[in-house]
Copies of this chain bind each other. A is one copy, B any other.
Amino acid sequence: MTKVRKTLSELAGLVGGRVVGDGGIEILRVASIEEAGPGDITFLAHPRYRSYLATSRASAVIVGGGAPPPSSGKAVKAFLEVRDPYIAFAKILHVFNPLQQYDGGISDHATIDPTAIIEERVTVFPYVYVGREARVGRGTVLLPGVFLGDGVVVGADCFIHPQVTIRERCRLGNRVILHAGVVIGADGFGYAGEGKERIKIPQVGIVEIEDDVEIGANTTVDRATLGRTLIRRGTKIDNLVQIAHNVVVGEDAIIAAQAGVAGSTRIGNQVILAGQVGVVNHVDIGDKARIGPQSGIPRSVPPGAVLSGGIAAAPHPQWLKVMTLLPQLPRLWSTVRGLERKLSRLAQRRRKGVKKDARR
Contacts and interface: CB of A to CB of B under 8 A. Distances in A.
A257 B270 contact: no
Interface in A244-264: 244, 251-252, 254, 256-258, 260, 262
A325 B333 contact: yes
Contact of A165 (B180, B204, B325): B180
Interface string A119-132: 00000011101000
Interface string A189-213: 1011111111111101000000000
A217 B333 contact: no
A348 to B, nearest CB: 11
B257 A275 contact: no
Contacts of A126: 111, 127, 129
A79 interface: no
Interface string A212-246: 00101110101000110000001010111010100
Nearest to A335: B336
Given A239-B222, A353-B350, A181 B163 contact: yes
Measured as residues with beta carbon below 8 angstroms from the partner, the interface class of chain A is 35 or more
Contacts of A194: 252, 270
Contact of A320 (B93, B167, B181, B308): B308
A69 B252 CA distance: 45
B332 A332 contact: yes
A137 interface: no
A310 B313 CA distance: 7
A156 interface: no
Contacts of A252: 194-196, 198
A120 to B, nearest CB: 24
Given A125-B129, A189-B257, A293-B280, A316 B308 contact: yes
A4 interface: no
A212 to B, nearest CB: 9
Given A35-B227, A90-B200, 6 more contacts: A31-B226, A107-B111, A189-B238, A278-B310, A322-B330, A353-B354
10 contacts: A32-B226, A35-B226, A94-B202, A163-B163, A183-B217, A189-B216, A276-B276, A292-B316, A306-B316, A322-B329
